[in-house]
Structure 1
Amino acid sequence: MEPDEYNFERNGFEDEDVSGEPSMGQPWNPAKIRITTKNFTLREVVEQIDYNEIDLAPEFQREFVWKRRQKTRLIESILLGIPLPAFYFNQEEDGSYQVVDGVQRLSTIHMFMRDLHVLESIDLEYLVDLNGLTFSELDVGIARRFRSAQIVVHVIEPQTPEDIKYDIFNRVNTMGSPLSAQEIRHAMSRAPSRAFLKSLTDLDSFNQATLFAFWKRSPDMPDGWAPDTQRMMNRELALRFCAFSYYSQDLYRSYRSMDTYLVDYLRWVDGRTPGCSSEELERMRGFFHSAMMNAHLVLGDYAFRRLSTGSKRRGPINRAVFEAQALALAPFSQGELYPK
């Protein structure tokens, strides 16, 4: 099935969460919160990124959406000695960091110091004499000052419980373009769960069942289309399906909220809690594929959408409907649904 114009309307996904997830309302225990403030030079930060000691979370924050002008203005601000807003890092048990707030800025700094961004006068406001230069072409003194510039980082230490970390990130996530809940979960997760969720949303069965709602026009691609994560809403759907496959009322009551349950499920996929195996993930992938195939077979173009009485217009994908329909259809074979 080829994508059509209708599937890419901005109402292709219903962002409102109508699933009615309750919060357990358990208060934080301040004694469990461990936050320290550290200063890093830009030289230190870039070296740690190169050695994978700082994780910029691939595909995170809308796959690095800053424009050339934004990048250049940030670099110019640093060259002018203007302090940057504080960053937030999540620290793992092995001492490595995940960037939760500041991905765009650190990505820009890393690109510039590795000669992957050229300064252009049309974007510079004051330092127009730097037009056409990369970092390695800067005056030695200017380059040294840039490398020595410091940033302030608030570090959420490993001793802080995961559910409290999630709440902290959610609270501080108020500047610029606020991150979605799934983007925060993505930042807190590791490579295995990121790859697993991506593999699910890359399935042809998922894209057919959702009518390619998570694709967009892209003149840079050979066929004119490219995946559109829409703030990782597609991966949130896949995550909820997998996590809810293990759902029980007793299990849910042990968590403060559904968000903390989803974060803990990602920890399980990442191997940070025992029990997950490659065989189990492969079984779940097959279960998800079956759900998508069956939804497309039974519900066609109206899969995962609320139906309005008397209306023939196809509505947007709804999270709660996706969960209910996908989980209900997953256990059946197509022969059981349409016996010959």
Structure 2
Amino acid sequence: MMSLIDEVNDRRKEIRTDGYAISIGEWLSLYENGEIDIHPEFQRIYRWSEAQKTNLIESILLGIPVPPIFVSQRADGVWDVVDGLQRLSTIYQFIGQLRDENNELIPPLVLSGTKYLPSLDNKKWEGDGELGDNDPNSIGQNLRLTIKRSKLNVSIILKESDETAKYDLFQRLNTGGSRLSAQEVRNCILVMLNKDFYSWLSELAKFDKFTECTALSDRAISESYDIELALRFIIFSLIDPIDLDSMGDVGVFITEKMREICVDDSFDTAYWGDLFRQTFTILADCCGDNSFKRFNTAKSKYSGGFLVSQYEAVSYGLAYNISKGTAAENINNLVSSLWSNQEFTDWSGSGMTATRRLPHLIPLGREIFKK
């Protein structure tokens, strides 16, 4: 068994890094020459406000230190942005060079006034038309040069590093105090690992029968909870119960399984897409938006909103039996009868963590929805 110092020394060899300061003018040249990939798909995931963008430009103008940009050097020499995408995107948008995932220019950023620089209100990089710097809303050549000559530190994960290093770093930097949800962080990792898999999973989450059954709030969807539920379906529907015993933190488990699946060439998206659509078509046709709601046995009616514990028992259990050709037919009655099942109610109550309930609810769902 390795000692702590041996483990540290061994892992340090796997991550090779470099770092220095680069002027914003050079950052712009890297972007214009296609030598840096800021993953424009992430723009739909990150949610910086106009005020946050203005505050970044203000910091640069005032010489306030900006956190370093983390990049990973690909085999072709291009830098993948691991952390700092929104900072760079804001700068590129302000200068008027930011492009979306369809390579279309995004309208330039117009600033707002701040506590320290109220005169930033309505200011932009350049003036309109022939007015140029005579436009009162232009920041002027002097401040443009100040910005372009300002430097941002970069930390580079060199291509000699362990190939998973950048994904580990991205997850660490964007978890905890981040404004991103857990699935939004996963979405970004998916785009870096396998953009096609991310697109496939996103399309599953838009399947009309699935959206009908889950009936999620706008906020939940804006935070990609629908994509997380689709991913959970892929991970847990056919999982070996033995794997649940050593699962640990469910969020970490989902992320690690996702990373394994999305780079697995043997993963059959056609099979899983078909199983997903079959499952939610059956549920939508017999239960609709009651599929994952609590059933009040006293009043004989459904009430409340989406319950993840019911989703786990019902969708995973039904999918498993569809895959085995053993799916029951009286689905509506089986769903409502869950709330008369002592084991289900014991393990689906409030305060019951996914780590504790899944080893019970997954086998239970498989048994309940078997004919």
Instruction: Name the TM-score, length of structure 2 as normaliser.
Output: 0.64
- Residue 113 of structure 1 is matched in structure 2 by 95
Larger Rg: 2
Structure 2 residue 260 is the aligned partner of structure 1 residue 264: yes
Q: Tell me the distance in 2 between the aligned counterparts of 1:51 and 1:204.
A: 41
Structure 2 residue 75 is the aligned partner of structure 1 residue 67: no
Which of 274, 281, 290 aligns to 2:278? It is 290
Report the alpha carbon displacement of residue 96 of structure 1 after superposing the two structures with TM: 3.5
Q: Tell me the distance in 2 between the aligned counterparts of 1:159 and 1:94.
A: 12
Q: Taking structure 1 as reference, are residues 195 and 170 closer, same or farther at Cα in structure 2, changes over 3 Å only?
A: closer
Instruction: Judge conservation of contact 1:305–1:321 (CA < 8 Å) in 2.
Output: yes
Instruction: Judge conservation of contact 1:89–1:99 (CA < 8 Å) in 2.
Output: yes
Report the alpha carbon displacement of residue 113 of structure 1 after superposing the two structures with TM: 0.9
Which of 204, 213, 227 aligns to 1:235? It is 227
Q: Tell me the distance in 2 between the aligned counterparts of 1:50 and 1:162.
A: 26
- Residue 366 of structure 2 is matched in structure 1 by none
Q: Taking structure 1 as reference, are residues 156 and 264 closer, same or farther at Cα in structure 2, changes over 3 Å only?
A: farther
More displaced 10-residue stretch of structure 1: 284-293 or 60-69: 60-69
Q: For 1:35-46, what aligned pairs fall within 5 Å after superposition?
A: 35-46=17-28
Which of 193, 205, 209 aligns to 1:205? It is 209
- Residue 16 of structure 1 is matched in structure 2 by none
Question: More helix by proportion, 1 or 2?
Answer: 2
Q: Tell me the distance in 2 between the aligned counterparts of 1:99 and 1:163.
A: 14
Which of 79, 86, 93 aligns to 2:68? It is 86
SS at match of 2:81: strand
The residue identity in structure 2 corresponding to 1:290 is Q
Q: Taking structure 1 as reference, are residues 36 and 242 closer, same or farther at Cα in structure 2, changes over 3 Å only?
A: farther
Q: Tell me the distance in 1 between the aligned counterparts of 2:291 and 2:271.
A: 23
Q: Taking structure 1 as reference, are residues 165 and 181 closer, same or farther at Cα in structure 2, changes over 3 Å only?
A: farther
Report the alpha carbon displacement of residue 329 of structure 1 after superposing the two structures with TM: 2.0
Structure 2 residue 153 is the aligned partner of structure 1 residue 132: no
Instruction: Judge conservation of contact 1:198–1:235 (CA < 8 Å) in 2.
Output: yes
Q: Tell me the distance in 2 between the aligned counterparts of 1:317 and 1:156.
A: 41
Instruction: Judge conservation of contact 1:193–1:266 (CA < 8 Å) in 2.
Output: yes
**Structure 2 unpaired stretches of 5+:** 1-6, 97-106, 128-138, 331-371
- Residue 6 of structure 1 is matched in structure 2 by none
Instruction: Name the TM-score, length of structure 1 as normaliser.
Output: 0.69
Report the alpha carbon displacement of residue 283 of structure 1 after superposing the two structures with TM: 3.2
Q: Taking structure 1 as reference, are residues 185 and 83 closer, same or farther at Cα in structure 2, changes over 3 Å only?
A: same
Structure 2 residue 292 is the aligned partner of structure 1 residue 275: no
- Residue 304 of structure 2 is matched in structure 1 by 314
**Structure 1 unpaired stretches of 5+:** 1-26, 217-227, 269-273
Q: Tell me the distance in 1 between the aligned counterparts of 2:246 and 2:288.
A: 37
Q: Tell me the distance in 1 between the aligned counterparts of 2:76 and 2:289.
A: 47
Report the alpha carbon displacement of residue 167 of structure 1 after superposing the two structures with TM: 4.3
Q: Tell me the distance in 2 between the aligned counterparts of 1:182 and 1:85.
A: 24
Q: CA offsets, 1:25-69, max 9 Å, x none?
A: xx8834323343343332333444455554444454763422222
Q: CA offsets, 1:231-281, max 9 Å, x none?
A: 22221221222234564468889999623222121233xxxxx335xxx32
Q: CA offsets, 1:150-192, max 9 Å, x none?
A: 2123334455556655544343336753433322222222321
Q: Tell me the distance in 1 between the aligned counterparts of 2:168 and 2:297.
A: 39
Q: Tell me the distance in 1 between the aligned counterparts of 2:233 and 2:287.
A: 18
Structure 2 residue 318 is the aligned partner of structure 1 residue 329: yes
Q: CA offsets, 1:280-308, max 9 Å, x none?
A: 32332222111222233344434345668
Q: For 1:114-263, what aligned pairs fall within 5 Å after superposition?
A: 114=96, 116-120=108-112, 123-137=113-127, 138-161=139-162, 165-173=166-174, 177-190=178-191, 191-211=195-215, 213-215=216-218, 229-244=221-236, 247-248=239-240, 258=253, 259-263=255-259
Instruction: Judge conservation of contact 2:82–2:166 (CA < 8 Å) in 1.
Output: no
Q: Tell me the distance in 2 between the aligned counterparts of 1:161 and 1:253.
A: 29
Q: Tell me the distance in 1 between the aligned counterparts of 2:167 and 2:91.
A: 26
Aligned residues: 290
Report the alpha carbon displacement of residue 313 of structure 1 after superposing the two structures with TM: 3.5
SS at match of 1:205: helix
Q: CA offsets, 1:70-113, max 9 Å, x none?
A: 22121111112222012333444433444343333222212101
More displaced 10-residue stretch of structure 1: 184-193 or 123-132: 123-132
Q: Tell me the distance in 1 between the aligned counterparts of 2:230 and 2:31.
A: 29
Q: CA offsets, 1:175-221, max 9 Å, x none?
A: 7534333222222223212211211111111110111x1435xxxxx
SS at match of 1:332: helix
The residue identity in structure 2 corresponding to 1:236 is E
Instruction: Judge conservation of contact 1:87–1:101 (CA < 8 Å) in 2.
Output: yes
Identity of aligned residues (%): 31
The residue identity in structure 2 corresponding to 1:118 is V
Report the alpha carbon displacement of residue 133 of structure 1 after superposing the two structures with TM: 3.0
Provide the aligned C-alpha RMSD in A: 3.8
More displaced 10-residue stretch of structure 1: 228-237 or 200-209: 228-237
Higher relative contact order (CA 8 A, sep 6+): 1
- Residue 225 of structure 1 is matched in structure 2 by none
